[in-house]
Structure 1
């Protein structure tokens, strides 16, 4: 299916930050765009704001002056809703209220041409419900941009129960022609991103509540080991806790209180206190003038290490050996069960068990567990935990050998799955469940998480790299440790243990 012709009129309703951003995207792509807002002068003010933003980009050498003027020439403010009658596509970006949106679409259905596509930029409301009272519900789809629309690449094209698949393909092709990375999804709570991303916040919040480590340290581990641009506490402070908490509650309620989506009491307390993050000056961090950022907790050691013993295949941890070898650590390789012995210390990648439990079950003294890293060749920090009774000398030796490789070590309490590993396992689990339930293809889910929230790797691709069996094992150990259904492995992950069904790039719509 081809994209809308550049001559097709695109109407945008709502001249707030999101609506203005969408209007700018369509105008930059060459469409005549009509911007409407029921607030007097709001549409013209939004166009003036777009002019100012683009002028700054021209001054900075990031945009050609001709492109600036062409974009402005494509933008006009509607005098009333009737000015949208000739549009081929109307995108609604107004208040997130079901009754208000329904009333608007009922009016648009009568006003606009029969072949006009109606689209909602809703981030949480059901497209099926929005369209249910229309005479032609097949005309309505979701076209969910991410804020700021001119910058963020992802667009979720959402089909409700009655949506015309041909129109979904048209919107997908149109968004792609606009320079975006569109994905197709079914209208379910949270669509792709707002559903699959819940564990990213939830696991850090839980670790904080359990006293595993402080905010700054957990954020640093997600950045410096996990490769995420921001940690969960930095990101929720940026989003705003009122917004992030409301989305979590919405998804939790929509899934009939499935404990995978349980909101955090710690975050609720911040919302109740008005500590909403950057916009209020306080959240998990203090942004008021003169406030200092808390230090990341880093272990130090004076131990001297010049050799280590590698026992068996270390799996995804193996690239660490390259760094140790490059740091003049003499490595002896022998058969074993995937362990690295350094002096008195026994190092191993976490498998989701408590360190003390694993030490007891596997008969390992001085066991120290290492967290997952996106790439052990470049990670600058790793989380570690150790079994009860581990000698201080062994801890010092583990810290020292990591330091030789240029890796800082941060301690977590003896907690199952540590930080990055449990977060990635739960992201993969939720992504797999979304795939299982037909929300979107595996490839589109991974694309959505990379393009929409800047994940360094799609959750399903990450599970494939780690090994699906390893991810299932981690989840099973988490479930056993907590005794909660929250950590139950998805049927899709279990299926992929016996058939290569987890990733299916050929289903991508890119």
Structure 2
């Protein structure tokens, strides 16, 4: 499928941050762009924002002065909707209200009968928006991410009536504009806003259980699991009103499925007007002189001279290598039947979490002095690690475990004994939601992983990450979370279960006969 020729005019409706960003992208790609807004001052602000962005690119050596001038010259402001009649593509980026968008597109269908119609909606149904059109096959979603000029991802959203050829042309156009497009069906949240919900939900749930401070939990996800930001600093940046509203919208659209249930903690922040950075207070304070609280790192504990590795560590084998590189003697021995691989420091066991609390597992495995550690992005290079000790453990157990993990070079954060700790349960839930999205035809496995890496800057695609962890391990974590909480949100996706049983990767499309 060929992209929209640059000889075709692109119209953008809405000169706010998103609309002006999209206009900049299209203009840089070589299109004449008509930027429409009913408010002339909004257009002036939008053009000024684009100009500043182009000047910045020139200063950084990423755009030459001649192209800067040519791009700026392609921008044509207008307050007349009729001026968009000759556009080949019209992109709407206005308020997220269904009735307003329906009214607009019905008018655009009349004014520009040959144009491709696209909505930048992040949450509304393309099928519903197009239901008022005589030719709904002309409408698709073209969902950019903020800031549109810098974020690579674009979701190409097909409603029930969207013509496949139109979606294909928009895909090719977004690619020609330097973006990474993905196809998705018009379902609540599309790909990113659906699959990302557990990132916020699990952090908020662990916080609600008093496992650690927001700063400590953010450090676990940022510096340990490798996400660009932790869940609390990210929701402060997004705005709690916005993040809560998206969660509530997806929850309602899925008929109250508790996988998407909103957080009472976040609701309280919204009620208090503590919306994050834009209001100067969220989980953190942002006023003049405000300082971010530091994570609560564990105090340095004595390092062991030797430890015993029992069983095959698999994904955490690099942790063992780090101990050996630090001069800790590692002896190897068989692992008792029914007990997972672990490090032994005298009577103390250290093991990777499997979704149970350390207390529950200490009972199941007959070892009171048990400490569990969390998942990280890379056990060879990550520098922060969360761990929790069984409530049945003796007083010295934590010191022995802490000294061992610190000897491997980790900054250690102690969590209260919550099941699955934080990174492991979050990654398992992200993979599970991604698997469900694939199963119901929202998107392909490759597009799910690409969307989460390009749209949210995740360190790994959640489906590929699940394959790396091992689908059996992911399913076990989810099963233990389900048993602990009794909440159906932790039910394993049928697709995850099938791929595990078949021994096939989750991140690849299923073979067809």
Band of TM-score, shorter chain: over 0.9
Quote the offset at 1:501 in angstroms: 5.3
Aligned to 2:282: 283
Q: 1:457 aligns with which of 448, 452, 460?
A: 460
Counterpart-to-counterpart distance in 1, 2:9 and 2:444: 31
Does 2:410 match 1:407?
A: yes
Structure 2, unmatched stretches of 5+, are none
2:85 pairs with 1:81: no
User: Match for residue 255 of structure 2?
Assistant: 256
CA distance in 1, matches of 2:41, 2:407: 62
The answer (yes or no) to whether the contact 1:344–1:393 under 8 Å persists in 2 is no
Q: What SS does the aligned partner of 1:119 have?
A: strand
Equivalent of residue 502 in structure 1, options 501, 506, 512? 506
Residues 55-90 of structure 1 show CA distances to partners (whole Å, capped at 9, x for unaligned) of: 133234332212211211211112411111111100
Counterpart in the other structure of 1:396: 399
Structure-1 separation of matches of 2:505 and 2:467: 10
Q: In the alignment, is residue 158 of structure 1 matched against residue 157 of structure 2?
A: yes
- Length-normalised TM-score, structure 1: 0.97
Question: Are 2:359 and 1:360 equivalent residues in the alignment?
Answer: no
Cα gap change, 1:380 to 1:227, in 2 (>3 Å): same
**Secondary structure of 1:35 counterpart:** strand
**Counterpart residue number, 1:340:** 343
How far has the Cα of 1:334 moved from its partner? 1.6
In 2: Cα distance, 1:407 partner to 1:368 partner: 15
**Which residue of the partner structure matches residue 447 of structure 1?**
450
- What is residue 95 of structure 1 aligned with on the other side? 95
What are structure 1's unaligned runs of at least 5 residues? none
Q: In the aligned structure 1, how far is the partner of 2:67 from the partner of 2:403? A: 55
Deviation at 1:149, TM superposition (A): 0.2
Tell me what 2:197 maps to.
198
User: What does 1:404-483 align with in structure 2 at a 5 Å threshold?
Assistant: 404-483=407-486
Superimposed CA distance per residue, residues 195-233 of structure 1 (whole angstroms, 9 cap, x where no aligned partner): 100000000101111101110000000011100010000
**Using the alignment, how far apart are the partners of 1:42 and 1:347 within structure 2?**
59
89 and 506 in structure 1: CA distance in 2 versus 1, 3 angstrom threshold: farther
Tell me which residue corresponds to 1:105: 105
2:416 match: secondary structure: coil
1:18-37 equivalence runs, <5 A: 18-37=18-37
Q: Distance in 1 between matches of 2:57 and 2:100?
A: 36
Which residue number corresponds to residue 65 of structure 1? Answer: 65
* Match of residue 310 from structure 1: 309
Report the CA distance shift for 1:49/1:301 in structure 2 as closer, same or farther (over 3 A): closer
What is the CA RMSD across the aligned residues, in angstroms?
A: 1.3
Distance 2:98 2:123 in 1: 10
SS class of match (1:498): helix
**Aligned twin of 1:369:** 372
Deviation per residue, 1:238-263 (Å, 9 max, x gap)? 00000000000000100011011000
Instruction: Output the CA distance in 1 between the equivalents of 2:414 and 2:38.
Output: 55
Find the aligned partners of 1:302 and 1:28 in 2 and give their Cα distance: 56
Is the counterpart of residue 295 in structure 1 residue 305 in structure 2? no
Q: Secondary structure at the match of 1:156?
A: strand
Superposition TM-score, scaled by structure 2 size: 0.97
Equivalent pair of 1:307/1:331 in contact (CA under 8 Å)? yes
Question: In terms of mean alpha carbon deviation, does 263-272 or 312-321 score higher?
Answer: 312-321
Secondary structure of 2:40 counterpart: coil
Contact 2:301–2:406 (CA under 8 A) maintained in structure 1 = no
Q: For 1:280-315, what per-residue CA distance to the aligned partner results, in whole angstroms no more than 9, with x for missing partners?
A: 000000111122221211112342312111111112
Structure 2 distance, partners of 1:47, 1:293, is 35
Q: CA deviation at 1:506?
A: 9.3
Where 1:313 maps in the other structure, the secondary structure is coil
- For the residue of structure 2 that corresponds to 1:368, the secondary structure is strand
Structure 1 contact 300–396 (Cα < 8 Å) conserved: no
| Contact 2:362-2:392 within 8 A present in 1 as well | no
Q: Give the distance between the partners of 2:144 and 2:410, measured in 1 at CA.
A: 38
State the secondary structure of the residue aligned to 2:190.
coil
Note the C-alpha offset of 1:101.
Answer: 0.7
The corresponding residue for 2:48 is: 48
